[in-house]
């Protein structure tokens, strides 16, 4: 649907035009040359992220996903890429971890004993556990109720963020306080953040400066290092 609309706009208005989503002007680029000029030849000028009110509501512009392009974003991105590579991302060393997680996925498939099932849930578990191994330093059993609940919260938020209510808030931010499905997004996010905060505190208590075991450990050490450099 979106592609068809984009092509229709291209046929009528050419390679570049502006439309308004609510009060937000959106520039639509169609065609190889204008896209190349914008995102390759003028990459820095077009490196910013659009402000998404529904995400700003609980992320407050922090992190990499929603942070504005600038020195802080570059620092976060550089540190994240370097740290994840140190833990094997993009290298052959991570293949062993992926292979290990794959055995759990295969075992979960085998437990269905040939009966029809929806693979999405089990595949999501496997992919999430690879991420958890890098970030949290451990994997979760598929039967772990807390882990399943967190995956449900994330999945629910992705669905809600793409829903009509959330998109209306993105176009008209003044609608945010009104009742609607979008209110559940903040509730879900708060529960996820509570879990992450608790995990960070546990990492702080067991932190070994000589042997960081995951991304959280490395981030805590970097924070301590930066604080030590402050006058």
**What are the DSSP calls for 152-166, one per residue?**
HHHHHHHHHHTSHHH
Q: Enter the DSSP assignment of 40.
A: I
- Over residues 3-43, the pLDDT tens digits come to 787 788 888 888 888 888 777 788 888 888 998 998 889 88
Average pLDDT over residues 143-148: 90
pLDDT class of 1 with cuts at 50, 70, 90: low
- Of 18-32, 124-138, 186-200, the one with minimum mean pLDDT is 18-32
8 Å CB contact between 214 and 87: yes
In this prediction, residue 179 has a pLDDT band, given cuts at 50, 70 and 90, of: very high
Least confident of 26-30, 49-53, 117-121: 49-53
State the pTM of this model. 0.79
What stretches of the chain adopt beta strand conformation (E)? 16-21, 24-29
Tokens of residue 191, six digits:
């529960």
Candidates 182, 166, 159; CA nearest to 21 is 166
Instruction: Please name the helix (run of DSSP H) or strand (run of DSSP E) that holds residue 205, with its range, or none.
Output: helix 183-205
DSSP classification of residue 41: I
């Amino acid at each position: 649907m979106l592609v068809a609309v984009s092509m229709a706009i291209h046929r009528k208005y050419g390679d570049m035009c502006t439309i308004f989503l609510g009060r937000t002007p959106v520039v639509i680029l169609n065609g190889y040359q204008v896209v190349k000029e914008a995102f390759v030849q003028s990459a820095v000028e077009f490196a910013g992220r659009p402000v998404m009110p529904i995400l700003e509501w609980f992320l407050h512009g922090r992190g990499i996903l929603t942070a504005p392009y600038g020195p802080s974003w570059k620092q976060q991105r550089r540190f994240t890429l370097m740290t994840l590579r140190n833990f094997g991302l993009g290298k052959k060393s991570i293949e062993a971890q992926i292979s290990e997680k794959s055995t759990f996925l295969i075992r979960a498939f085998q437990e269905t004993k040939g009966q029809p099932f929806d693979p999405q849930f089990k595949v999501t578990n496997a992919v999430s556990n690879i991420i958890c191994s890098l970030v949290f330093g451990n994997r979760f059993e598929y039967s772990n109720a807390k882990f399943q609940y967190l995956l449900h919260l994330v999945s629910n938020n992705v669905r809600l963020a793409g829903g009509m209510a959330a998109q209306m808030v993105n176009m008209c931010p003044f609608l945010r306080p009104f009742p609607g499905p979008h209110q559940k997004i903040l509730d879900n996010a708060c529960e996820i953040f509570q879990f992450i905060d608790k995990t960070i505190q546990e990492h702080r208590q067991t932190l070994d400066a000589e042997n960081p075991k995951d991304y959280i450990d490395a981030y805590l050490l970097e924070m301590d290092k930066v604080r030590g450099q402050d006058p």
